[in-house]
Chains A and B, each alone.
Chain A
Amino acid sequence: MGILLLITKPLGIYLFQVLDGKNTFLEPVLGPVERFTYRLLRVDPRREQGWKQYTAAMLLFSLVTMVFTYAVLRLQDHLPFHGIIDGLLNKTAITPDLAFNTAASFTTNTNWQAYTGENTMSYFSQMVGLASHNFWSAAVGIAIAAALVRGIARHESGTVGNFWVDLVRIHYYLLLPICIFYAAFLISQGIPQNFKPYDTAQLTEKQTIQVPKTDASNNPVKDTAGNVVLQDQSVETQSIVEGPIASQIAIKMLGTNGGGFVNANAAHPFENPTPLSNFLQMLSIFAIPSALTYYLGRAVKNQKHGWAVWGAMAAIFLVGVITCWKAEADGSPNLYRNGVVQTDGNMEGKEMRFGIFNSALFATITTDASCGAVNSMHDSFTPIGGLVPLFNIQLGEIVFGGVGAGLYGMLIFVILAVFIAGLMVGRTPEYLGKKIQAFEVKMAGLVVLVLTLSILGFAAWAAGANNFGAPDPVTNALTNGTNNNGPHGFSEILYTFSSATGNNGSAFAGIGANTPWYNTTIALATLIGRFFMIVPIMAIAGSLAAKKLVPAGPGSFPVDGWTFIILLIGTVLLIGALNFLPALALGPVVEHFLMYTGKLF
């Protein structure tokens, strides 16, 4: 936390240089490249766009990149690096529903993954189809935040910046330079970066497993009673996953994307080998979102306001960490009643090298931000430990938040807080010299309502219908797809759509959601969560930019200091609690009490 505080100002100043067209120290090297890129893209960098043009450019770019990734995944079996491991699925094309789900989820910075990376995606799909979006969607998020901040900072202006200029500058001056050094450091900790086939290790101790016996035509053999006949199979080797992992992990963290190379994400030793790499990954999730608050203060020439927003975020963050840590350290009575050391806490689904604290901390950070990388399995958390990440997402991931998304999400709450404060004292609400009027409040309300509706609506649909999930392996009947029964199963469904709508991408990962229904609805939820948020926000940006500046008077509500911080936190918690407490009561809350009675499902 202290280190985060230290890097916020310098990185914030640097962001200001990047986003407001100032020359950075990299200008002598990258300036010519930047100008050449504009010529290639046929963009006039001097010409700014109004909010509608800016939004249209953003939507078109998102659409084109999404179609691009869909095509890469569908054509995987014709592209380089396919079938690099014999017998595994990445020889084949991705199914349409999974490709749609994955393309939508990566375009929206969600990185929900209904597939198992290491046996489904080829190196080409990972590197070109997926990792590219980690840059693009992160840059789009930062660009939108910059446009909104410009809208707040300007007055009587018809423009909010140029999307293409923002996109290119964020890539060249911010993401790429940091990622190259960051990725190299991650390799030094043990993350692989190569293009060779999977290695085969000879196991020291051979294992035996039972597999269904098959006849010559590869059909399972059944005995007279209709049961599948099993045979022993000796496992003598271990396939060691390889690939261009480090380059993808660096941007996955810095861009708060969270889409891992392998299924276990940052819990896997190849994605997160050491406690030190773990610490840096956590720091890099928060780095840009935190610096953006400083950028906000600088751009609107009210640095105290930037720090006030930072302070509100930090306060919610700390409460979350402590709650989650305490719950996980207390552990599950179902474990310690059965002879497990109580003080070890809830180690199910956690890595030994991280332990309880770093797992709880990571879980809180990844959901405060819209990252969604996980270094432990949230599904196996205690009910309250799991409630913290779930509620973090439902609050809108505004605690530092995703790159850009966190700041523009939080500014929605700032507008609502200013509006509520205005109502309380009976004056026209003002924010930094701009009157907040019906239009802005309607747009802010729209954002909050659409997100809530998407989360609760889809979750209620899935929980009510009960047969959208993966089929039962024995009977082949469709199930609700949940890996756990009882309230925890409901939590899995609720978490799924919270994560999708919030563009987080982490999961209560037991849920069997790689089915056409889930893939499609989750993809829709990610698109709703991204673009039904961005478009109203851009409308607010355009509206604020055009407004006249009103000189601050005695009735102006100060947007720095403790009153504002407390009011902002209150607004966030109040809206989040009103929207989601009933649903949470049915999931983690009731499970918490049942856990102490010893009831199992």
Chain B
Amino acid sequence: MKSSDLNQRRSADQAPLLQTDRAGVGTPNPGGKDYSILQETLTSILATVVLGLIVSGLYPLVVWGLGQGLFHHKADGSLIVAADGTTVLGSELLGQNFGGKQYFNPRPSAAGAAGYDPTASSGTNLGPTSDKLINGQHKKDAAGKDVTDPSNFDGIKDLVAAYRTANGLKDADAVPADAVTRSGSGMDPHISVANAQLQLPRVARERGKSPDEIRQIVDKYTEGRDLGIFGEPHVNTLLLNLALDGKLPSVAGK
């Protein structure tokens, strides 16, 4: 729009409703004699009701209609339904815990006792100088042995050691950061491409398949940057693991 257009518009729009051009401007007591705090309170209550009905009633319903109409699957939570048509296996967007060797293991999670609990989404909220974050927290019995306890917490050191053991890495090998840090939501389904590559030989071995076969499936569930610039490439572990198990309807037929 050229600025000359705007000026024209502005002068054409000098309707009586203009707030700047209203009769009250410049007069010393524009409120008039009928102004009262009672009247203003009543207006406040009416405004709460009227605007409330619009922003809390009409607006979410309009969005609901648009969403359900245009993007039904996503508006309902991007659910993955098994081949039987009823059992829900998860949501494409939410991670699940996979500890088994035949699976690509997702990031550790701080959401709920079992991890990946969508009703308790959270990170660890531990800072970089936290002893608990680095060394973990392990309850010991009188003899100094580890005992199981809900307050036990694996630190970065524990997670690094476990990752190296699981994937046959040497002690000097550095571990991808995403593999040993907990995400902000505790629901992150994604791992880095480097992390997936390190896990790939183990998964192939456990499943008795060639690494190339597995790699093809990994590539399929690797998401690049949005529009080529936003974010980091990542692998969706839930979709990948379900595909490996043949549970994804689209993959099951292969």
Nearest A residue (CB) for B51: A171
- Which of B19, B52, B87, B123 makes the CB contact (< 8 A) with A377? B123
Tell me how far the C-beta of B28 lies from the nearest C-beta in chain A, rounded to whole angstroms.
5
Contact A235 B114 (CB under 8 A): yes
Contact A46 B70 (CB under 8 A): no
A336–B45 alpha-carbon span in the complex (Å) = 58
Contact A276 B226 (CB under 8 A): yes
Contact B39 A351 (CB under 8 A): no
Nearest B residue (CB) for A354: B231
Nearest A residue (CB) for B29: A158
Given the interface contacts A21-B19, A118-B121, A201-B90, does A601 sit within 8 Å of B190 by beta carbon? no
Chain A residues 97-152 with CB under 8 Å of chain B are 116, 118-119, 127-128, 131-132, 135-136, 150
Contact B56 A131 (CB under 8 A): yes
A483 located at the interface, meaning its Cβ lies under 8 Å from any Cβ of chain B in the complex: yes
Chain A residues 25-53 with CB under 8 Å of chain B are 37, 40-43, 45-50, 53
Contact A45 B17 (CB under 8 A): yes
Given the interface contacts A192-B77, A348-B128, A600-B130, does A341 sit within 8 Å of B42 by beta carbon? no
B143 located at the interface, meaning its Cβ lies under 8 Å from any Cβ of chain A in the complex: no
Contact A184 B63 (CB under 8 A): yes
A575–B194 alpha-carbon span in the complex (Å) = 46
User: Mostly helix, strand, loop or mixed at chain A's interface?
Assistant: mixed
A388 located at the interface, meaning its Cβ lies under 8 Å from any Cβ of chain B in the complex: no
A195 located at the interface, meaning its Cβ lies under 8 Å from any Cβ of chain B in the complex: yes
Contact A242 B77 (CB under 8 A): yes
A48–B118 alpha-carbon span in the complex (Å) = 50
B220 located at the interface, meaning its Cβ lies under 8 Å from any Cβ of chain A in the complex: no
Nearest B residue (CB) for A132: B56
Contact A41 B60 (CB under 8 A): no
Residues of A contacting B16 in the complex (Cβ-Cβ under 8 angstroms): 46
Contact A341 B177 (CB under 8 A): yes
Tell me how far the C-beta of B20 lies from the nearest C-beta in chain A, rounded to whole angstroms.
5
Residues of B within 8 Å of A, CB-based: how many? Answer: 139
Contact B10 A41 (CB under 8 A): no
Given the interface contacts A192-B77, A270-B77, does A205 sit within 8 Å of B100 by beta carbon? yes
A196–B45 alpha-carbon span in the complex (Å) = 31
Tell me how far the C-beta of A211 lies from the nearest C-beta in chain B, rounded to whole angstroms.
7
The 7 closest A-B pairs by CB, nearest first: A275-B231, A510-B125, A267-B184, A344-B177, A355-B232, A264-B185, A332-B128
Give me 5 A-to-B residue pairs in the complex whose CB atoms sit less than 8 angstroms apart, sorted by A's number. A21-B18, A48-B25, A210-B148, A264-B111, A377-B125
A204 located at the interface, meaning its Cβ lies under 8 Å from any Cβ of chain B in the complex: yes
Contact B71 A187 (CB under 8 A): yes
B83 located at the interface, meaning its Cβ lies under 8 Å from any Cβ of chain A in the complex: no
Q: A210-B149, A348-B181 are in contact. List 4 more A-B contacts (CB 8 A).
A: A65-B48, A118-B120, A209-B150, A238-B96
Contact A190 B93 (CB under 8 A): yes
Given the interface contacts A119-B120, A209-B113, A488-B127, does A46 sit within 8 Å of B23 by beta carbon? yes
A53–B36 alpha-carbon span in the complex (Å) = 10
Residues of A contacting B88 in the complex (Cβ-Cβ under 8 angstroms): 199-202, 240
Given the interface contacts A64-B41, A486-B129, does A118 sit within 8 Å of B118 by beta carbon? yes
A264–B185 alpha-carbon span in the complex (Å) = 5
Chain A residues 431-485 with CB under 8 Å of chain B are 473-474, 483-485
Nearest B residue (CB) for A67: B48
Residues of B contacting A509 in the complex (Cβ-Cβ under 8 angstroms): 122-123, 125
Chain B residues 198-248 with CB under 8 Å of chain A are 223, 225-227, 230-232, 234, 241-242, 245, 247
Nearest A residue (CB) for B93: A269
B154 located at the interface, meaning its Cβ lies under 8 Å from any Cβ of chain A in the complex: no
A376–B181 alpha-carbon span in the complex (Å) = 12
Given the interface contacts A42-B39, A184-B63, does A484 sit within 8 Å of B89 by beta carbon? no
A424–B145 alpha-carbon span in the complex (Å) = 70
Residues of A contacting B85 in the complex (Cβ-Cβ under 8 angstroms): none
Interface segment among A160-168, A304-312, A565-573: the answer is A160-168
Contact B56 A61 (CB under 8 A): no
Contact A239 B47 (CB under 8 A): no
Nearest B residue (CB) for A331: B177
Tell me how far the C-beta of B99 lies from the nearest C-beta in chain A, rounded to whole angstroms.
7
Given the interface contacts A157-B25, A180-B66, A347-B177, does A353 sit within 8 Å of B231 by beta carbon? yes
- Which of A180, A211, A263, A595 makes the CB contact (< 8 A) with B150? A211
Chain B residues 133-169 with CB under 8 Å of chain A are 133-135, 148-151, 156-157, 160, 164
Given the interface contacts A351-B185, A351-B188, does A247 sit within 8 Å of B24 by beta carbon? no
Nearest B residue (CB) for A116: B120
Contact A119 B75 (CB under 8 A): no
Contact A350 B19 (CB under 8 A): no
Tell me how far the C-beta of A68 lies from the nearest C-beta in chain B, rounded to whole angstroms.
6
A316–B160 alpha-carbon span in the complex (Å) = 38
Nearest A residue (CB) for B9: A22
Contact A176 B59 (CB under 8 A): yes
Nearest B residue (CB) for A385: B128
A23 located at the interface, meaning its Cβ lies under 8 Å from any Cβ of chain B in the complex: yes
